[in-house]
Amino acid sequence: MTEELNQVEVRSFQVGDKVKGQVTKVEEKQVLVSIENSKIDGIVPISELSSLHVEKASDVVSEGEELDLEVLKVEEEAIVLSKKKIDAEKAWEDLTEKFQSGAIFDAQVKEVVKGGLVVDLGIRGFVPASLVESHFVEDFSEYRDLTLSFKIVELDKEKNRLILSHRAVVEQEKGKQKRAILDAVQPGKVVEGTVQRITDFGAFVDIGGIDGLVHISQLSHQHVDKPSDVIEEGQKVTVKVLSVDRDNERISLSIKETLPGPWSNILEKAQKGSVLEGTVKRLVSFGAFVELLPGVEGLVHISQIAHKHIATPFEVLKEGQKVKVKVLEVNESEQRISLSIKELEDKPEEETYELPEESKGFQLGEVIGDMLKNLKS
């Protein structure tokens, strides 16, 4: 009689019915549940517990837990139920809403597989390796069981396809940080940064989440042929903000502006009366410009080049020539230095004409007259 009643009650269920059940026993490969408002037990196979692969049923459910289930099969004395179908149905509704709104949500990484990560959201979500981080990751093993923030980038219920991206969240956050920095940074501000990238025309420096460009002309007070000659990637630097283009998200920076200028303390470096060695940089009609220190030139006026009269500096000097000079005057405020080369050279003796002994006592005119006669004869 009991069997007949059970069969009658079993037949009252239809495939697709939604029921609630309480877990009464967890076996290795299946779960037994008591169906609400029924004396019939149901069976949930391990394959119907989750959208992901499950090794043990106890990894998913525990005794006493209440589950929402769907009827898969109606057998003579038992009902086969599915948990994952209900979970998936609820998940698709929730995920569709998240996809349409662009929502960010947290989820735990359940598996690390070839090509990416797997997340259980009621349905299987896949995170391709290229969408995990904004930088390259060689080994994803440490990501297992991590809880990360995700955005849905592809959703197709018919193909049961759900693609997630953690990288999109990271880049979105970076974008917010970048905008905040752009709004906060002001020209003239001095900040610390790290050299991220070096190019032929300068260096990109990270100043806290956004890169600014230090043009090659702003790397040093000295002439720079290649940025890599004076700076390297990863180097910590102090930079001054020159300009901010918020529309195009560009920041111009200077390292040179934070360094002491070549003329600072010039009175100590080139003291009046001191002798220095320099290089002739430019020759002009009125003299020669000699570089004493990087970025510091002094003028040797044409009158200070040689003791003898010269028409142009080109007669005795050439560009690139090393010369010793004496500092005559220094004007730090106007950045001018007067130099002399001839002050370091011996003054040639003046040629004098000695009168013959016998001519002494005669008038100069008489002597010259006699000399002229001798020349004529």
Strand partners for 195: 205
Q: Is residue 102 part of a domain?
A: yes
Percent of the chain with pLDDT over 70: 89
pLDDT surpassing 80 at residue 95: yes
Q: What is the pLDDT of residue 373?
A: 55
Q: What is the pLDDT of residues 190-215, one digit of tens each?
A: 999 999 999 999 999 999 888 999 99
Residues 226 and 271 in one domain: no
Q: What is the pLDDT of residue 38?
A: 81
Could you tell me the pLDDT band of residue 39, with boundaries at 50, 70 and 90? confident
Residues 277 and 338 in one domain: yes
Q: What is the pLDDT of residue 221?
A: 84
Neighbours of 67 (CB within 10 A): 21
Domain boundary among 258, 289, 320: 258
Domain boundary among 82, 99, 115: 82
Cα end-to-end distance, the chain, whole Å: 172
Could you tell me the pLDDT band of residue 116, with boundaries at 50, 70 and 90? very high
Distance, in Å, from the CA atom of 20 to the CA atom of 68, rounded to the nearest integer, reads: 5
Strand partners for 240: 190, 254
Give the mean model confidence (pLDDT) for residues 248-261: 89
User: Which CATH number is 279's domain given?
Assistant: 2.40.50.140
Amino acid letter, residue 235: Q
Residues 215 and 154 in one domain: no
Q: Which two tokens stand for residue 108?
A: 């735990």
Q: What is the pLDDT of residues 308-367, one digit of tens each?
A: 999 999 999 999 999 999 999 999 888 899 999 999 988 876 655 555 555 444 454 554
Q: What is the pLDDT of residues 133-171, one digit of tens each?
A: 988 999 999 999 999 999 999 999 889 899 999 999 999
Distance, in Å, from the CA atom of 218 to the CA atom of 204, rounded to the nearest integer, reads: 12
Distance, in Å, from the CA atom of 360 to the CA atom of 24, rounded to the nearest integer, reads: 147
Residues 97 and 163 in one domain: yes
* Number of domains observed in the structure of the chain: 4
Strand partners for 164: 152
Give the mean model confidence (pLDDT) for residues 77-98: 89
Strand partners for 322: 279
Contact 298, 339 (CB under 8 A): yes
Q: Is residue 177 part of a domain?
A: no
Residues 111 and 96 in one domain: yes
Q: Is residue 221 part of a domain?
A: yes
The average confidence (pLDDT) of the chain is 87
Residues 76 and 91 in one domain: no
Contact 60, 48 (CB under 8 A): no
* Parent domain of 310: 266-344
Neighbours of 364 (CB within 10 A): 9
Q: Which two tokens stand for residue 39?
A: 């004396």
Residues 166 and 151 in one domain: yes
Q: What is the pLDDT of residue 377?
A: 47
Contact 144, 112 (CB under 8 A): yes
Q: Which two tokens stand for residue 316?
A: 């005795």
Q: What is the pLDDT of residue 354?
A: 55
Q: What is the pLDDT of residue 223?
A: 83
Residues 44 and 69 in one domain: yes
Distance, in Å, from the CA atom of 72 to the CA atom of 48, rounded to the nearest integer, reads: 10
Q: Is residue 323 part of a domain?
A: yes
pLDDT surpassing 90 at residue 266: no
Could you tell me the pLDDT band of residue 6, with boundaries at 50, 70 and 90? low
Q: Is residue 243 part of a domain?
A: yes
Residues 290 and 313 in one domain: yes
> What is the phi/psi pair of residue 29, to 5°?
-115, 5
Q: Is residue 349 part of a domain?
A: no
Residues 78 and 92 in one domain: no
Write the DSSP assignment of 137-156 as a string of letters.
Answer: -S--GGGTT-EEEEEEEEEE
What single DSSP character describes residue 176? H
Residues 96 and 69 in one domain: no
Domain boundary among 226, 242, 258: 258
Q: Is residue 293 part of a domain?
A: yes
330 sits in which H/E element:
strand 322-331
Residues 142 and 192 in one domain: no
Q: Is residue 202 part of a domain?
A: yes
